[in-house]
Amino acid sequence: MKFPRRVHLLRPTLLVALLLAGAAHADDRVVRSADGPAWLYAVARLEIPGSRYVDGRHRHHLETCSATLLADPSSDGRPLLLTAWHCLEYYNDLSRPLRVSLETVAGEMLVRDAFRLADGGGMHADWALLGLRGRLPERSLPRLPLATQRENRERPVSMAGYSRDPGLGRNGTTLTWDPDCRITAQSRHSTATDCHAHKGASGGAVVQVDDAGRSYLAGVISQGDGAGYSGFVPVTRLRGAVAAFLR
């Protein structure tokens, strides 16, 4: 997960104050458990085999992020997932597939190869749509419907992903979620919250619940500092582009 470059330009005294403020904000994340909401099982772990030039040498590395299984399949009936564009920034060898791991409600781990269908093209539109190779069982894996309207600032949001912190996230091997966050700012392209999210949670789910108790995907996790600030791309910013692939 990447953070805004402006963080590195803060004056030392201001940076210390921000760090102290973040340290005082308790980490309210919870590890997924059997008594949690069913939609948590729509959040997958994504492995991306990337490569880039470092010090003049071509180096391979394995990046991990998160992705969210959508209620709407592709036009040919294949499952679709949303993740963050920046997770795929260094994915440039199509002979090495993306790998998606989904845990079912019954505790079975399903692993599938994935491929990119569309994306926003940069951090200004930090989302990507993935297709899966192979089907998934319908009953054991919940799927999240896309929100039809912009997220409601007056309602709480939940945020879930495979954070790579060594604590609750266990280096990206355990799904954690922040169940009761507040929206702190909204702009045209992004929304800020006080959820806790670390590297690895990028591409994970931002969820709101409507008056009828239905959960829906309000956004895609884009960034976070692990200390009470996180940002996401609203679903309304990508819904039109994704619609071309829906059934």
DSSP string covering 184-242, please? EEE-SS-EEE-----TT-TT-EEEEE-TTS-EEEEEEEEEE-SSS-EEEEEGGGTHHHH
Our CA angle for 214, 230, 48, nearest 5°, is 90
Would you say residue 83 lies in a domain? yes
Res 177: pLDDT:
97
Q: How confident is the model at residue 53 (pLDDT cuts 50, 70, 90)?
A: low
Please report, for the domain that includes residue 133, its CATH number: 2.40.10.10
User: Is 69 in the same domain as 106?
Assistant: yes
Res 54: pLDDT:
63
Q: Residues 234, 217: contact at Cβ < 8 Å?
A: no
Among candidate residues 80, 115, 143, the one where a domain is terminated: 143
pLDDT digits (tens, 9 = 90+) for 72-131: 888 888 899 999 999 999 898 878 899 999 999 888 999 999 999 999 999 999 999 999
Would you say residue 244 lies in a domain? no
Res 94: pLDDT:
75
Res 185: pLDDT:
97
pLDDT digits (tens, 9 = 90+) for 127-166: 999 999 988 887 778 999 999 999 999 999 999 999 999 9
14 has pLDDT over 50: no
8 has pLDDT over 60: no
Would you say residue 17 lies in a domain? no
Our CA angle for 235, 63, 60, nearest 5°, is 135
Backbone angles phi, psi at 21, to 5 degrees: -65, -40
User: Is 133 in the same domain as 155?
Assistant: no
Provide the strand spans (E) within 84-126: 98-103, 109-119
- Percent of the chain past pLDDT 90, that is, above it, reads 68
Among candidate residues 114, 143, 172, the one where a domain is terminated: 143
User: Is 138 in the same domain as 179?
Assistant: no
Q: Residues 69, 135: contact at Cβ < 8 Å?
A: no
